[in-house]
Structures are given as C-alpha cells and as structure tokens.
Structure 1
Amino acid sequence: MQNQNKSLTRGLQILKEILFSDKPLTAVTLCQKLDIDKSTMSRLLTALLKEGFIKYLGNTKEIVKADIMDIMTSKATREVLIERTQNLLEEIFNFTGESSYLAVEENDALLYLNQVDNSTRVIKMRNTIGAQAPLHCTALGKVLLAFGNSDIKLLDLTEYTKNSVKKSRYLQKELDSIQENGYAIENEEYEYGLSSVAVPIFNHDKELLGAIGIAGLSARLSTDTLQEFAHGILKINAKNIKI
C-alpha cells in the first residue's frame, strides 16, 4: 500500500509539472526536476500515456498534456464559474424580471452555461443551457467579441433577421462602442420578437470569464428599458468574481 501511495504521488507530481509547463518536457528533464530514477519515470509516463493524460509531440521525445486535460480543465473552470455567478443571475432576474443568462465563447459560437427564470408567466423563455447561438447577433455574443480575442473577419455573419449585422466593418464599429459603454444591446437581430442586453464578467486580473445578461420579448423591452437594465446589471456586476 505504501509503495502504491508513493507511485501515485510521483505520478501526480509528473502530471503537475507537465500541466503547468509553458513548453514541452522530456523524461530526462522530469527526472532531474523531480529526482526520480529513469526506470520509475518510464513506468509512470507509460501509465499516464496509456490513460490519455499526456502525449508525445509527433515522433519526438517531447511530452505535453493531452487534449483530454484541456477539456477537463475547461469543464472544471466552467463549473466554478456557474457556481460563482448563480447569485448574480438571481439578482439580475430579480431586478429585471427577465430570464438571465451566463454564457462563454466556444468554437466561434456562444455557449449558454446557465439560466435563471423564476417568473410565473405562462409564456417563458425556453431553456437554453448547453445550447449554442451566434456571436454576432446576440448581446451576450457581442460582449464576448468586444472583450475577447476572436477575429471577427473569420466569423460567419449569417443574416437571421433584417436587423442582423451583415458586414464585419459595421460589427467592429459596434464592438468599439460596446467596449466604451461596457455593455451590449441587441434588438431582434437573432429572432424577431426578442431583445437582449449583456455585460462582461472579469476576474481580479481583468481576464474575461464570460458574459451575463437578460433576454425577453421586445414588446416588454423598449430601448429605454434596455438601457436602464444595462446600467442596473453593470451595478450588480460591480463585484469581481475570483476564479
């Protein structure tokens, strides 16, 4: 049992070194850094490789984390983000009376992570958790574009309604305005009859974590109302989220 625990500890030490390294590592380098003999290192690396945690770059001896580790890290980060923003979404819903959302960017699309709608309305917004939507014609998506690193010239600017942005230069102009104002407003650009507003959320290091906002029937959300909600959501979101 003691030997098993020791092997587990060493395996985790190796995996930790590989995960947090900003460049590929070799078995020799790992042996030197962790003071592990070559035979033990070879055995542990073989086990990590077999389980899909690490991979070799082509035919070289350089070791990097496997894609599954990126997936696991991303999933864990998102779960924390959902937990830390739950109260924010509740506050936003209570303030606006409209369905509130948390979203992130994934593969040049908007991915909904969470939604809060405690209204008793007969007609409610559909559940979108896990669904995707375009970035260029949703308030949440525009916030992610304005404060993120996506290249808008590579986006597919599909025209969903007559209000959809169709050219990248017009979209860029709008994104510049969103950066200046700190929020995005969308009026029937993705679906007729629906409007939305969103703001970015950052951590203490000012890194973009995602976007939060609301969406509802355009009949209830006039331009003035959307502006009012935007400023209110900005105040609610004034607290930083530490991930």
Structure 2
Amino acid sequence: MDASLETLEGLSKLDDIGAKADPEFMTSLSRGLTVLQCFAEEQGPLSIARASQLTGLSRGSVRRCLHTLQCLGFAEARGSHFMLLPRVLRLGYAFLSSDALATVAQPLLARAAADLGESCSLGIRDGDEVCYLARAEASRIMSIALRVGSRLPLYCTSMGRVLLAHASPAEQKAYLDRTVLTARTADTVTDPEALLALLRTVREQGYALVDQELEIGLRSIAVPVFGRDRTLLGALNVGAQSVRVSPEQLLDHYLPALQQISVELGLQGVR
C-alpha cells in the first residue's frame, strides 16, 4: 500500500519519517490517532487484529493504543473488540463549534432545504475526500443517508469535483497519480484525462453536476464558496433522487439557490 497521507497504513509508515525529520514529532500520539481513525473505517466494533491490519502497526502497538483510549474514556472493551464511547464526540464538536463557516452556513442551508424540498450541504476538502461540514435535511421519508462528518471521494461527487477544479494543476496531477478512480457505477468517469477535462469545465462554468456516478439513482449539483479575497472556502451542494429531479431541474431551479447561498457566505467574510 502506498505510504500516503490518505491511508491509515500510510500514516503509520510516516511515523518514522516524521520522527527523523522533526524532533518535536510525537510518534506515540501519531500512532494513537491513527488507531482512532480505524473506527471510521470499520463503523463498528474493532478488534486488535483488524486495527493492526488497517494501520500496519504491530498488534502490541495497537493494543497499547486501544488500552490508552479505554483508560481515557474514549473507548471500551467488549470481549475481544473495542467500541468508541460518546466522549470522542467532543473532538468533532470542538471543531464544529469553532468553525465560523459551518455556523453561518447552517441557517442558510436550512432555508434552502425547506424551499427546495431537498437536502443541502456544505463540504470542505480533507485530504483526498470531501468532508460534510454542515447539512440541512429535507423533510422526506426517503432521503440520502449523509450527515455532518460524512466523507466521500473527490473524483465522483459534485462537491469533490468543485474542490478539485479549483486546485492547482500540480495538485490535480498529484491527486490523480495516487488515486485509483474506481467505477462506483457504470457512469463513473474513471479516465484521468476525461476527469481533468471535466474539472476544467467545472472551473469555467462555476458548478459541477454529477449524474449517478457515485450511486445509481443519485444526482447532485455543487458550487464553490469563495471568501472576499477569492480564497476557496468550500463547496455547497444539493442532492436528489433521479426519479424526482432531472438534470435540467438541477440547473434551472437548484443551481440559482446554491449560487445565492454561496454569495451570502462569501459576503460574511468567514474564515
């Protein structure tokens, strides 16, 4: 597995690199946080063996990390497996409560979701994924199962493509060099050159429309959010089931609403 920042095993392999390059680098903390991230991969009980497999760390190192998390109240042992405890939410809430962009965006997203009848989201780039920073759900029985903190690939999502489109050519190339463009559906764009062409179009037209590339039956449209100095702050999107909303409806009715929120967020001067 490639030792990049985007893999758990890659993170553990960078321990030695970081320790050698920076005398202030704390390897034990790095390993503990890497093990903690395993729970996001599994989304359920985690065994020492599985955590070792995910991170590339020895079972002894993993056991000590999990034991420490247990002693600190972040996890508990259940037989041969470990589960996270509610205390871990403090870490995420601390970030969200201090993030002005999410705070300002939430009521705007709620207003748009009520007006459009579809869920609206704000996302930021975190490594090679888009992370949902704020979200307002539509009041529907059947809705898309995403929440604040959800993470999706950059290459096949509308917000991800907006964020990639505004990266530098060097960043885009580096991303494509280390990323396998897996076909999530029959419509997923998996050719690097075709994706680069799409990203150029996204940047020029100011939005990304993704039609059933992440998941069959799901369409979405996204726009960038810029600060007053034209720094990219994040992306906004609306996602809808394809049986309800056509691509033309996304462009005619949903895109203007997203563009209005984007302008309002930019004028707030957040971040």
Indicate the TM-score class for this superposition, using the shorter chain for normalisation.
0.5 to 0.7
Q: How does 1:1-243 map to 2 (within 5 A)?
A: 58=22, 75=95, 79-119=99-139, 121-149=140-168, 150-151=171-172, 152-154=175-177, 155-228=179-252, 229-239=254-264, 240=266, 241-242=268-269, 243=271
Contact preservation (8 Å) 1:88, 1:237: no
- After superposition, the Cα gap between the structure-2 partners of 1:167 and 1:217, relative to the gap in structure 1 and judged at 3 Å, is same
Letter in 2 for 1:90: A
CA shift, 1:112, in A, is 1.2
Distance (whole Å) between structure 2 residues aligned to residue 178 and residue 92 of structure 1: 22
Q: Write the distance in 2 (CA, Å) between the matches of 1:76 and 1:130.
A: 10
Residue 26 (structure 1) aligns with: none
Gaps in structure 1 of 5+ consecutive residues: 1-54
Return the index of the structure with the highest Cα Rg.
1
1:126-168 per-residue CA deviation (whole Å, 9 max, x = no partner) reads: 1332121111111111111111344242332111001101111
Q: Higher relative contact order at CA 8 Å, sep ≥6: structure 1 or structure 2?
A: 1
Once residues 90 and 78 of structure 1 are traced to their aligned partners in structure 2, the CA distance between those partners, rounded to angstroms, is 20
Contact map agreement 1:144 1:211 (CA 8 A) in 2? yes
Give 1:117 deviation, angstroms: 1.1
Which runs of 5 or more structure 2 residues have no equivalent in the other structure? 1-18, 31-90
- Specify the code of the residue in structure 2 equivalent to 1:93: A
Aligned length: 182
Q: What TM-score, normalized by structure 2, do the two folds share?
A: 0.60
Contact 1:111 1:133 in 2 (8 A): yes
CA contact (8 A) 1:100 1:212 kept: yes
Q: CA deviation at 1:186?
A: 0.6
SS of residue matched to 2:230: coil
Percent identity, aligned pairs only, is 29
- Deviations for 1:81-107, whole angstroms, at most 9, x for unmatched residues? 210211221232133211011111112
Instruction: Write 1 or 2 for the structure with the bigger share of helix.
Output: 2
Relative to structure 1, the CA distance from residue 126 to residue 209 in structure 2 (aligned partners, 3 Å threshold; closer, same or farther) is same
